[in-house]
Structure 1
Amino acid sequence: MDWSRAKNVLICTFLLLNAVLGYQLWHDAQETAGPNLDFTSLDENTQRLMEEKSIQVLAPIPGDTPQLPKLSYTYVHSGEKDDRVQLVKPVDSKLVFTHDALVEALEPQIKDIDNYQYDPLDVQEEPASGQTDAFVLHPLVQDKWPLFNVKLALFYSNQKITGYRKIQVILQPSDEAKKMLPASKALARLIDSYLPRDSIVKDIRLGYYGQTFNSDSQVAAPVWRFMLDNGKGVYYVQMNGDVISPKTEHTEGS
């Protein structure tokens, strides 16, 4: 046996193996830390506060700043929650994760479901039982932006969607479109003044939200929704920088 040649082959094999393992480690690190890699949209003071308060952001910071109008919407049934409706033909609950398949399966039983978007981070809690066995969908404004105030709840049991509760509303833009506050500036405002230590921002999403009043007619504004991990809080930041925390329904101006 040519030991010199065998040794060279082994060395090359180990080098190749190390290169493959190194690439895999780099790729895994990229996937794990992906959303956290680029904070250049945040100023240095905000990044410093993040470190001091041990705040993590596990969601990409959107860079788009579309122009959106305020919105008025009217409850069709006096703002009251509709009673739960049982589906004549239950469908597989896994369909909720695929919009087109869900629409195809439920459109014959739930009108306009094609204009609703599934929100995996929202929950529908039943007042009497406190159970949360429901998927939540929101109606879309301009076929794109969810109206967080309004929920379509799809109740499920034994891996089947068995019923739903839907609040009917009529949407109407009510103001001139204005440029949205950048998500990075909205996030900086929360980090500077609102988020407690050790907060983990799990999701950043653009949509509509407004404080609700005892009236059929409501108003919602474009907002950035910041959802914290483990249900520890949700914050809505309007285009003028005002912050709404729905747990208190209190708005604080800039």
Structure 2
Amino acid sequence: MDWGRAKSVLIYSFLLLNLLLCYQLWGDLRDQAGASLDFTSLSAAAQQVMEEKEIRVLSVIPAATPELPNLSYRYSAEPDAPPVALEKPVDSRLIFTFSELTEALKGEIPDIGDYRFDSLESEAGRFVLHPLVQGKWPLFSVRLELIYNDQKIVAYRKPQIQLDPAGGQDEEKQKILPAAKALGSLIEKYLPAGSAVKESSLGYYGELFNSEAQVAAPMWRFMLEDGRTYYVNGISADIISPKTAE
């Protein structure tokens, strides 16, 4: 055996491995550049309230502030309508690999690839997905529910929804309120002592009315560890908590 040559191959292999690891680290840092756990992005008043009321923020605070329009769409659904049974149950573990889930269910739900799985709104017996606006922003107020039993997806409940084909592009765009400012306002005015913010994400939200024509606004969604959800309007900064009197 040519040990000198073998040694050279090992050295080059280790160099290549180090380069790959460095590239992966760079990619991870790049992905994290848009979000930060640095609470100094919050106002001094919000930080003081956090300390006084022992409020914790467990999720990253997104730094992106895109320009988004309001969204017009058509929606209709019967709240008490029974779910549609699948002809062939699907292994529910596929929910953790969305591409596989899409492939398994696209025969019965052709547009399932236009939805995003929401682990925080999902609960025992049902997985929740939201339609995506412009392929990126979830419409939080509309839900596609996948019903499962004995680790098998056995049925689904799908809303009748028609999004603006332009994704609201014809509407006037406005720069979105920074997440740090929206969260700071929420901390100062509404969050009870001991709260823990589990998730911060941007999407669309609008109350659903008995009318097919609906309007949703860009909203920051903040979900607490105890299950409560708050929405902060990305334009007006109004705060909504759907399941409470606030």
Q: Shorter-chain TM-score category? A: 0.7 to 0.9
The residue that corresponds to 2:14 in the other structure is none
The residue that corresponds to 1:226 in the other structure is 222
The residue that corresponds to 2:132 in the other structure is 140
Give the alignment partner of residue 79 of structure 1, picking from 52, 57, 77.
77
Contact 2:206–2:216 (8 Å) recurs in 1: yes
Contact 2:221–2:229 (8 Å) recurs in 1: yes
| Matched position secondary structure for 1:139 | strand
| Matched position secondary structure for 1:241 | coil
Contact 1:79–1:215 (8 Å) recurs in 2: no
**Matched AA of 2:77:** G
How far apart are residue 249 of structure 1 and its match? 7.0
Structure 1 residues not aligned, in runs of 5+: 1-33, 125-131
Single out whichever of 238-247 and 183-192 deviates more from structure 2.
238-247
CA distance in 2, matches of 1:167, 1:79: 5
Contact 1:79–1:216 (8 Å) recurs in 2: no
Percent of aligned pairs with the same amino acid: 56
| Matched position secondary structure for 1:121 | strand
The residue that corresponds to 2:155 in the other structure is 163
TM-score, scaled relative to structure 1 = 0.77
How far apart are residue 248 of structure 1 and its match? 4.0
| Matched position secondary structure for 2:186 | helix
The residue that corresponds to 2:186 in the other structure is 190
The residue that corresponds to 1:102 in the other structure is 101
How far apart are residue 86 of structure 1 and its match? 0.8
The residue that corresponds to 1:15 in the other structure is none
CA distance in 2, matches of 1:69, 1:45: 30
Give the alignment partner of residue 236 of structure 1, picking from 213, 231, 242.
231
How far apart are residue 49 of structure 1 and its match? 0.9
CA distance in 2, matches of 1:101, 1:218: 32
CA distance in 2, matches of 1:148, 1:45: 29
Structure 2 residues not aligned, in runs of 5+: 1-31
**Matched AA of 2:175:** K
Decide which structure has the larger Cα Rg and report it.
1
- Equivalenced residue count is 207
How far apart are residue 36 of structure 1 and its match? 8.1
**Matched AA of 1:169:** I
TM-score, scaled relative to structure 2 = 0.80
